[in-house]
């Protein structure tokens, strides 16, 4: 089994790291550069540069360095905002897009050294929740390097066809604008785009131009994360009775979302399953976490699961990366104003 570092981002106790796949945990203290009571809404690492990890926090964007063992604040127009979503492009590791609460999109083409506001104008406030909207996920299209997607709670789906420079809302057929997650499966010829909402799953077979509602065969329609296993052979969907909810289940599809079955998380769940983490270094190693911090691991690609002993409070993000690559990675030097950082 591939060894790796597992990262969990919480809402109120910062980020926790495990070097033994979830058996023991450490939390870097405040001297490492990040306030211990931070909320870590999102994390993104690039597979070809495992030493590069970016986190969206209450205070803007931060970068974690494995070799230096510290957090560094990444200055940006998002300073002072909650960064709910962040993604590093698999096509270009210097291309980063982040989204905030209230919902706005920002991009960088130099690994985060400089940022610009992107050409999207989502509604900043929703009467549905009597509060601000927020970007819940950013996804670089795996089959089209010019295309980027953003899900916004509560302002539907936004799509860019020019690497994030300009955006358009694509919502025809959505029964709810309360959109949480997005996944793309099927390959170039049979591409399907899925998004999750508080009222069930939706699919588009025409690249987002129209959406079809897919009610779940479930006691609950609320769903959050939808994540393909790293080898593309299985699709996972988190489903429960609300946010944070008091119970739920992890669903699994072996046919690109046509049919679903219970993946069998063991025991009594304390809330809705929220996040799934997978990595191409070992597609058989998969992690899942509930919104209120129960953590599960599968060593056989999601066929069977075991609950890990450690429980957190509210969890918002999870990521794992292989130890071997981290151990051999050369520390990248990023430049800002002519200085290394």
Task: Output the six-digit token pair for 158.
Answer: 């936004």
pLDDT at 332 over 60: no
Residue 212 has pLDDT above 70, yes or no: yes
Contact in structure between 41 and 85 (CB atoms under 8 Å): yes
The overall average pLDDT reported for the chain is 92
Would you state the pLDDT for residue 323? Answer: 72
Quote the pLDDT of residue 50.
65
% of the chain residues with pLDDT over 70 = 93
Q: How confident is the model at residue 339 (pLDDT cuts 50, 70, 90)?
A: very low
Fold of the domain spanning 4-340 = Methylamine Dehydrogenase; Chain H (2.130.10)
Q: What pLDDT is attached to residue 324?
A: 58
Q: What's the confidence (pLDDT) of residue 340?
A: 29
Q: What confidence score (pLDDT) does residue 336 get? A: 33
| Mean pLDDT, range 3-7, rounded to an integer | 89
Backbone phi, then psi, for 63, in 5-degree steps? -120, 135
Two tokens, residue 202:
């939706």
Q: Where are the domains of the chain?
A: 4-340
CB 263 within 8 A of CB 305: yes
Cis bond leading into 102, ω under 30°?
yes
Q: For residue 132, count CB atoms less than 10 angstroms from its CB and return exposed for 0-12, middle for 13-18, buried for 19 or more.
A: middle
R_g (Cα) of the chain, nearest Å:
19
Q: What is the DSSP letter of 153?
A: E
263: which DSSP letter?
A: -
């Amino acid at each position: 089994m591939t060894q790796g570092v597992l990262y969990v981002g919480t809402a109120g106790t910062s980020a926790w790291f495990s070097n033994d796949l979830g058996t023991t945990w450490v939390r870097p203290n405040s001297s490492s550069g990040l306030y211990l009571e931070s909320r870590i809404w999102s994390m993104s690492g690039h597979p070809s540069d495992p030493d590069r990890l970016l986190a969206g926090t209450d205070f803007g964007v931060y970068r974690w360095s494995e070799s230096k063992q510290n957090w560094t604040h990444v200055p940006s127009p998002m300073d002072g905002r909650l960064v709910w979503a962040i993604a590093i492009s698999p096509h270009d590791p210097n291309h980063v897009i982040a989204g905030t609460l209230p919902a706005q999109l920002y991009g960088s083409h130099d690994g985060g050294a400089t940022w610009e506001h992107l050409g999207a104008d989502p509604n900043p406030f929703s009467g549905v929740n009597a509060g601000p909207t927020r970007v819940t996920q950013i996804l670089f299209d795996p089959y089209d390097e010019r295309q980027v997607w953003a899900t916004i709670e509560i302002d539907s789906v936004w799509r860019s066809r020019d690497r994030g420079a300009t955006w358009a809302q694509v919502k025809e057929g959505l029964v709810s604008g309360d959109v949480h997650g997005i996944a793309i499966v099927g390959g170039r010829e049979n591409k399907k785009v899925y998004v999750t909402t508080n009222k069930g799953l939706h699919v588009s077979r025409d690249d987002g131009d129209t959406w079809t509602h897919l009610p779940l065969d479930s006691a609950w329609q609320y769903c959050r994360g939808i994540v393909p296993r790293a080898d593309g052979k299985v699709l996972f969907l988190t489903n429960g009775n609300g946010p944070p909810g008091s119970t739920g289940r992890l669903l699994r599809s072996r046919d690109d979302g046509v049919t679903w079955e219970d993946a069998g998380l063991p025991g009594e769940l304390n809330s809705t399953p929220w996040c799934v983490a997978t990595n191409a270094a070992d597609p058989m190693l998969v992690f899942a976490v509930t919104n209120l911090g129960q953590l599960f691991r599968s060593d056989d690609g999601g066929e069977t699961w075991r609950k890990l002993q450690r429980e957190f409070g509210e969890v918002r993000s999870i990521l794992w990366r292989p130890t071997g690559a981290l151990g051999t990675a050369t520390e990248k030097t990023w430049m800002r104003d002519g200085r290394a950082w």
